[in-house]
Amino acid sequence: MADQPLIVERRDEVEIVTLNRPDRLNAMNEGLIFGLRDYFTGLADRQDVRVVILRAEGRAFCAGLDFGAWKNDGSRGAMQHVWRTQRTIASVMQAMRKCPQPVIACAQGAACGGGFSLLLASDVRYGTPDLRMNAAYIKIGLGGCDMGASYFLPRLVGSSVASEYLLTGRFMVAEKALSCGLVSEIVPQEGILDKALSLAGEMLLTSPMGLRLTKDALNLNIDAASMEHAFAIEDRQQILLSPTEDALEARTAFLAKRAPEFHDR
């Protein structure tokens, strides 16, 4: 599998998605990005997969764009070629947010540019002590806001911290990411996948539809226009879930002090 830029491993209802270009610090080439786009887009129709863990091989999570790997074959103009590259990478982060499965990211070493945005688009992030993240774009003459960074980062860490890093391109280290809530925990490299699998296991104890609608409500309420809108989304979620067979099973199991058996019905 060394020549596969993306590896997907199934463990019951969890899939582990691994960036597999360690010799290039998992920098984004076409094979990796199109693989990620197709994978996350396809999750909408795969209710057998309930949680996704995103990780990477080697000493870095993702060093950003592999500049030499996006060649224009002459069939497109220069502007059209850049637009295709830009939109294809951006579509990955959008698909990650839209897929119904929670995405748990495990990151080590460098997470730069688009690699940083892969973390921002995840639902939960764990980092190793050597994790270093930045929105590198402003360092190469572009705007600091790219690949969803200006959308995700202020919502995750607040406007002041986001501005500090997007306006400079400086690296955010693991301890800073922990202190501002960008990562949930700092975990040694050898234990980070087990940490993610443990969290995934806790998520699997919930009802399948309840888990999907919770991610849905979290995403919608990040942009809720008002408190009333947020309550309306929560009300919708609970009304949809209350009459399900799984909700009845959860209540019955709770009263009987046993583990519930869910069937996504």
> What does the pLDDT look like over 89-102, one tens digit per residue?
999 999 999 999 99
pLDDT value of residue 82: 87
Q: pLDDT exceeding 90 applies to what percent of the chain?
A: 90
Residue 78 has what pLDDT? 84
The tally of CA atoms less than 13 A away on the side-chain side of residue 201 is: 6
User: pLDDT tens digits, residue range 221-248?
Assistant: 999 999 999 999 999 999 999 999 999 9
**N-terminal to C-terminal alpha carbon distance within the chain:** 37
Decide if pLDDT at 76 tops 80. no
Residue 68 has pLDDT above 90, yes or no: no
Q: What is the mean pLDDT of the chain?
A: 95
Please write the tens of the pLDDT for every residue from 246-256.
Answer: 999 999 999 99
> In this predicted structure, what is the pLDDT of residue 1?
63
Report pLDDT for 146. Answer: 92
Closest CA to 117 of 88, 94, 83: 94
- Cα–Cα dist 134/89, whole Å: 17
Mean pLDDT across 128-142 = 94
Helix (H, G, I), strand (E, B) or coil at 109: coil
* pLDDT classification of 2: cutoffs 50, 70, 90: low
Query: Residue 73: its pLDDT value, please?
Result: 76
pLDDT of residue 39: 98
210-242 as b/e, with b when 16 or more CB fall inside 10 Å? bbbbbbbbeebeeeeeeeeebeebbeebeeebe
Residue 18, pLDDT score: 98
pTM: 0.94
The tally of CA atoms less than 13 A away on the side-chain side of residue 149 is 27
**Model pLDDT for residues 16-26, shown as the tens digit of each residue:** 999 999 999 99
Average pLDDT over residues 101-107: 98
**Cβ partners under 8 Å of residue 160, min gap 6:** none
Give pLDDT, residue 75. Answer: 79
